[in-house]
Amino acid sequence: MPDTSGGGAPAPLWLPDWLDQSRRALWRPYTQMKTAPPPLPVVSARGVRLTLADGRELIDGVSSWWTACHGYCHPHIEAAVREQLSKLPHVMLGGLVHEPAARLATRLARLLPGDLDHVFFSDSGSVAVEVAMKMAVQFWLNGGVSGRTRFVSFRGGYHGDTAATMSVCDPEEGMHALLRGYLPEQVIADLPTDGERRTAFSALLAAHAHEVAAVIVEPLVQGAGGMRMHDAETLRFIARACAETGVLLIFDEVMTGFGRTGSLFACEEAGVVPDIITLSKALTGGTLPLAATVARSPIFERFWADDAQAALMHGPTFMGNPLACAAANASLDLFETEPRLSQVAAIERHLKGGLEPCRTLLGVVDVRVKGAIGAVQLDRAGEGDWLRPHFLERGVWVRPFGDVVYLMPPFVIDEDDLAALTKAVVEVVGLWSRERAS
């Protein structure tokens, strides 16, 4: 059986002084730092490759938490940020405005379907979802309706690490079960992927509609909850159920937005226009932190009033940062001028063929592919510490979590590098499978 008691990434050939000196000062994410191996020091990145301090190069198979859709250091984005830096690195949006934010809001409104025309900027996906939830609750309050303060979310879902967003994550399998007593209590449902679950969901929503502000869902793919995938009809059913009960619908496209599932936005595949949509991650091409919460006109109109108390009282200090907006505008340029969606289609075809051999391996429960996302689900969680060193030996950066080994490469990856990633997954999962059988 594989040893999962420790392990992890092997130490680099040498540790830079800055890493050794920061061992306790730098608090790392999702890590038990007392027992974890040191992180790998990255000194540069270009295209799809990360260069470590010891000179090794790794093919990035996860796009730095799913952000670097154009690869690293794309010259068009780099030039846009440099030009903006020389003119205006930052200015508050409170009482002031600047062209990059205005242009970006206008472009997003034009790209998004329907009347998703009203863009509120923030600086992370979690905050974008938090703003969406706040919008939904205040929408009802501004209309004179009290008591609609809860949300319906789904098992297997993940929406962020801030307080409100933690409450709509999966309460059992998610990362936040330890904080259960601190979090607001929401209504958790199974995704209505079949007839029985649809009947149950309709009944649940009808029973709670009087106290629910909105339903929130990750369209087509539940990301950090395990790369669980569902079809467009599931989203259409949820939308119909919301319309019938008068409940708002929020699509969390922090991960799925900007081409990852095969269309520019996952909601387009379903033909559904949610009341509110959240965007982040690939919004700036992985260059700078930026997020957006975008509302339909009927939502916005509830805040457009003579009464100052009807305004949305939210304003992150760095919202709409000019550098980040310049990067996002440049990223949108690339979606217009370079063949990103056809590249995603090619990645999907390769992942389907390249990961298929895993399906017959002992301990593999499922192999799933959607757009530029490929997932190999194992029959148990906690194997990452054993798996990661074997990926590093093969020159790839793949970071399994839970019971899933997944790939979400930059869209610009070429066929050889993509083949190296899928080959590494098949080999490493195969090695894990054989060792657990021995």
Rounded to 5 degrees, φ, ψ at 99 are: -60, -45
Rounded to 5 degrees, φ, ψ at 277 are: -130, 145
Per-chain mean pLDDT for the chain: 95
- The answer to whether 258 and 335 have CB atoms below 8 angstroms apart is yes
Indicate which residues carry an active-site annotation: 30, 158, 252, 281
**What tokens were used for 111?**
């790209």
Q: In this predicted model, what pLDDT tens digit does every residue of 73-132 receive, in sequence order?
A: 999 999 999 999 999 999 999 999 999 999 999 999 999 999 999 999 999 999 999 999
Q: Helix axis angle, 232-245 relative to 195-208, nearest 10°? A: 30
Separation between Cα atoms, residue 188 and residue 180, nearest integer Å:
13
Write the class of the CATH domain 17-70+339-437: alpha beta
Is the overall model pTM greater than 0.85, yes or no?
yes
Give the residue ranges of DSSP H helices in 265-372: 266-270, 297-301, 322-337, 340-355
- The answer to whether 386 and 7 have CB atoms below 8 angstroms apart is yes
Per domain, the residue ranges of the chain are 17-70+339-437, 75-337
**Residue 13 pLDDT:** 55
pLDDT band at 5 (very low <50, low <70, confident <90, very high): very low
pLDDT band at 178 (very low <50, low <70, confident <90, very high): confident
**What tokens were used for 156?**
């297997």
Please provide the CATH number assigned to the domain covering 75-337: 3.40.640.10
Q: How far apart are the first and last CA of the chain?
A: 7
The answer to whether the 17-70+339-437 and 75-337 domains have the same CATH topology is no
Question: Above 70 in pLDDT, residue 14?
Answer: no
